[in-house]
């Protein structure tokens, strides 16, 4: 393990347990550069630990302080100034929230399939014993992107006997057991009963799920987004909900966040909307901490880091 002193610029957050880290790594110093903190203009640092809520406009002023490694405490990295990061190693907390997000996706798929909550009753219905419920058995689920989140989604869909198709831009189209890998967005969505967006937000994916893509989907498809709101053209979504081309949209992410008061997404009965909470789990913050600690130990030892980000690709 390296013996030299190492400085970490960070925004003070409770889930990074500084006393625990400095006890384990006495050569590490933390320098608080939280928004609103008076920061010495002469400071320098080796590592920049970025909170996901930090104003991205404030990041560039710290990147010329000798920073060699930038780690963001989040899965998504679309707020980072990649044009300034060519000389840095960049990592993210990839995988920390994959399981709870996958569980949220499966909940939405089952809720739509079994008409929950609309099938609950508070008085005698017109007909007992009858309901237009569907089944996941032999249904087609399209996964847009096949990173850690949609890989966990695929695992949880396997016992239901549905067909799972995954769209991946990567040249690596090796299929996981029970998953059909395709490189065409049209091929992925054309027969899908459920479409799950798990793509990173980049210049290529901004507004990717637009009117044209929605029209390629099976009429009555269910659209689920747990990635970034800007991947979906929300005006096109409204039009396709009104026409019935999309029967339900289950959204944990929208644009902007938070939505302004009175926005149509709050009140449309065909939209199941949650406030970007699909990641939430009792141990999520511990996972963020543990991922950083594991990478810190590797960085100090000169070992390759986990969660590497391709600054050219933007994810």
pTM (2 decimals)? 0.94
CATH dotted code for 98-273: 3.40.50.720
Q: Rounded to the nearest 5°, which phi and psi values hold at 202? A: -135, 180
Q: Which residues are part of the catalytic machinery?
A: 228, 257, 276
Query: Distance between CA atoms of 74 and 76, rounded to whole angstroms?
Result: 6
Residue 251, helix vs strand vs coil: strand
Does residue 2 carry a pLDDT above 50? no
Average pLDDT for residues 104-128, to the nearest whole number?
A: 96
Query: Distance between CA atoms of 277 and 195, rounded to whole angstroms?
Result: 19
Quickly tell me which residue has 């009963």 as its tokens.
193
DSSP 58: G
Of 10-14, 134-138, 180-184, 285-289, give the lowest mean pLDDT range. 10-14
Q: Based on DSSP, count helices (H) and strands (E) in the chain, helices before strands.
A: 8, 12
149-199: pLDDT as tens digits: 999 999 999 999 999 999 998 766 666 778 999 999 999 999 999 999 999
Average pLDDT for residues 290-300, to the nearest whole number?
A: 96
Cα–Cα distance list, 111 to 62, 133, 135, 191, 289 (Å): 45, 10, 11, 20, 33
Long-range contacts from 235-242, C-beta under 8 angstroms, 24+ separation: 236/210, 236/211, 238/264, 238/268, 239/211, 240/211, 240/214, 240/215, 241/268, 241/270, 241/271
Q: Residue 175: its pLDDT value, please? A: 64
pLDDT averaged over the chain? Answer: 93
Q: Find, among 20, 31, 25, the residue nearest to 3 by Cα.
A: 25
Please tell us whether the domain made up of 6-96+283-300 is placed in CATH 3.30.460.80. Answer: no
Does residue 309 carry a pLDDT above 80? yes
Do 6-96+283-300 and 98-273 have matching folds?
Answer: yes
The secondary structure of 290-309 as a DSSP string is HHHHHHHHHHHTTPPPSSB-
Q: Residue 14: its pLDDT value, please? A: 84
Does residue 216 carry a pLDDT above 70? yes
Q: Residue 137: its pLDDT value, please? A: 97
Q: Residues 203, 209, 212, 217: is their CA dihedral positive or negative?
A: positive
Does residue 1 carry a pLDDT above 50? no
Domain boundaries of the chain, sorted by first residue: 6-96+283-300, 98-273
């Amino acid at each position: 393990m390296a013996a030299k002193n190492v400085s970490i610029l960070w925004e003070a957050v409770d889930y990074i347990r500084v006393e625990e880290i400095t006890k384990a790594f006495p050569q590490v110093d933390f320098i608080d550069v939280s928004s609103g903190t008076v920061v010495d203009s002469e400071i320098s640092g080796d590592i920049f630990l970025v909170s996901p809520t930090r104003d991205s406009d404030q990041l560039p002023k710290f990147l010329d302080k000798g920073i060699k490694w930038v780690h963001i405490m989040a899965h998504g990295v679309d707020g980072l100034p990649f044009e300034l990061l060519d000389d840095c190693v960049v990592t993210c907390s990839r995988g920390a929230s994959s399981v709870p997000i996958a569980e949220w996706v499966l909940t939405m798929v089952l809720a739509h399939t079994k008409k929950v909550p609309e099938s609950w009753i508070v008085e005698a219905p017109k007909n007992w014993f009858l309901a237009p419920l569907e089944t996941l058995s032999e249904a087609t689920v399209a996964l847009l992107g096949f990173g850690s989140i949609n890989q966990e989604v695929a695992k949880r869909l396997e016992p239901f006997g549905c067909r799972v198709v995954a769209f991946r831009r990567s040249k690596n189209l090796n299929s996981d057991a029970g998953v059909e890998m395709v490189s065409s967005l049209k091929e992925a969505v054309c027969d899908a009963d459920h479409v799950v967006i798990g793509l990173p937000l980049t210049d290529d994916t901004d507004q990717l799920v637009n009117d044209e893509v929605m029209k390629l989907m099976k009429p009555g498809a269910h659209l689920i987004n747990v990635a970034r709101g800007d991947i979906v053209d929300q005006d096109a979504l409204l039009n396709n909900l009104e026409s019935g081309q999309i029967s339900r949209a289950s959204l944990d992410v929208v644009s902007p966040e938070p939505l302004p008061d009175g926005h149509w997404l709050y009140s449309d009965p065909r939209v199941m909307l949650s406030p970007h909470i699909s990641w939430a789990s009792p141990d999520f913050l511990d996972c963020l901490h543990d991922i950083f600690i594991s990478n810190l130990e590797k960085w100090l030892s000169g070992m390759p880091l986990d969660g590497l980000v391709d600054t050219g690709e933007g994810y």
